[in-house]
Amino acid sequence: MVTAGQLLALMEETLRAQGFDVAGAIDELGQVRQSDRRDRGESFSFGEHIRGMLLALLSNQRPWGPIARNEARLAELFGGYEAERLKAADKSRLAERVQAIKCGNRAIARQMADLDANLATLERIAADYGSLDRFVLSDAPEAIARELGQGKRYKLRGMGFTLALEYLRHVGVKAIKPDSHIRRIVGDSRLRLHGGYPSEAEAVAILSGLAAEAGVNLTYLDNLMWLYCAVDYGAICGGAPKCGACGLRPHCAQGRAVQGGVGRERVRLA
């Protein structure tokens, strides 16, 4: 039986054995650092919330690497994330400039066209709660993400539940972003921590349980598991998994099948 702590350690060891700088990559993502800031009682400005919302929107269905490498340029294009400068910007031109530095996505024109409406929603939330910080801490991260992604009062355009969780992590809220990498690796084709392909909510519950059992920061666990899978980063357990290099192999249905095992025994956490 493997513990949650052992699963984490095996992922860290596998990445390091491939020469991957785990600590450096987590630091570059910046979300654990942001959660540390919040743990110290620091607050996040309105501009930092705009930054979080925009970076989450940009991350929609595309690799993160080029966005990470262009963060300073994006801050410049987005007027230092100042609301008034963004409102005054030509949104079509903004979308073109984001595309030109390879940070766009299929929805970028719509995302920029919706920017003023989303800024107005953020301003309304801040007025209702006293600040955006108060709002994001007013309920569990999943409840806040549901409101921003699907709610009737504060739905942000172009933002679903998963992207809303990404926004929250940019402003220091510890949370899981249940994207396809995460859902696939915990599902029944790989680690079998769930009896099928988990829904977004089920993936959040599984990783929350793992983080609690291992006693680690939820955002750290999310980042580590995502780095383990993402093509621009660790790329161990992506669409074409490198099972031969993976320390999770004895605990994984696909890994066991690859090495000749029956691969049907579900991982049981101690």
Contact residues for ligand SF4 (CB under 6 A)? 185, 190, 236-237, 241-243, 246, 248-249, 252, 254-255
**Minimum distance of ligand SF4 from residue 248's CB (angstroms):** 4
Residues with Cβ < 8 Å from 138, sequence gap 6 or more? 129, 144
Six-digit token pair at 169? 């992590």
8 A C-beta contact, residue 26 and residue 260: no
**Minimum distance of ligand SF4 from residue 250's CB (angstroms):** 9
Residue among 168 and 221 whose Cβ is closer to ligand SF4 = 221
Rounded Cα distance between 54 and 78, Å, is 9
**Minimum distance of ligand SF4 from residue 187's CB (angstroms):** 10
Residue among 14 and 111 whose Cβ is closer to ligand SF4 = 14
**Minimum distance of ligand SF4 from residue 22's CB (angstroms):** 16
Residue among 55 and 235 whose Cβ is closer to ligand SF4 = 235
Q: Assign 99 to helix, strand or coil.
A: helix
Rounded Cα distance between 222 and 220, Å, is 5
Residue among 97 and 190 whose Cβ is closer to ligand SF4 = 190
8 A C-beta contact, residue 204 and residue 161: no
Residue among 169 and 249 whose Cβ is closer to ligand SF4 = 249
**Minimum distance of ligand SF4 from residue 246's CB (angstroms):** 3
In terms of Cα–Cα distance, which of 166, 205, 169, 199 is closest to 184? Answer: 199
**Minimum distance of ligand SF4 from residue 15's CB (angstroms):** 11
Cβ atoms < 10 Å from Cβ of 10: 18
From the number of C-beta atoms within 10 Å of its C-beta (0-12, 13-18, 19+), residue 206 rates as: buried
8 A C-beta contact, residue 156 and residue 230: no
Q: Which residue is nearest to ligand SF4 (CB)?
A: 255
8 A C-beta contact, residue 188 and residue 197: yes
Interaxial angle between packed helices 141-150 and 161-170, expressed in degrees from 0 to 180 and rounded to the nearest 10: 120
Residue among 156 and 191 whose Cβ is closer to ligand SF4 = 191
8 A C-beta contact, residue 165 and residue 145: yes
Residue among 175 and 246 whose Cβ is closer to ligand SF4 = 246
**Minimum distance of ligand SF4 from residue 184's CB (angstroms):** 9
Residue among 7 and 176 whose Cβ is closer to ligand SF4 = 7
Phi-psi domain of 57 (left: phi exceeds 0; alpha: psi -120 through 50; beta: other): alpha
**Minimum distance of ligand SF4 from residue 89's CB (angstroms):** 42
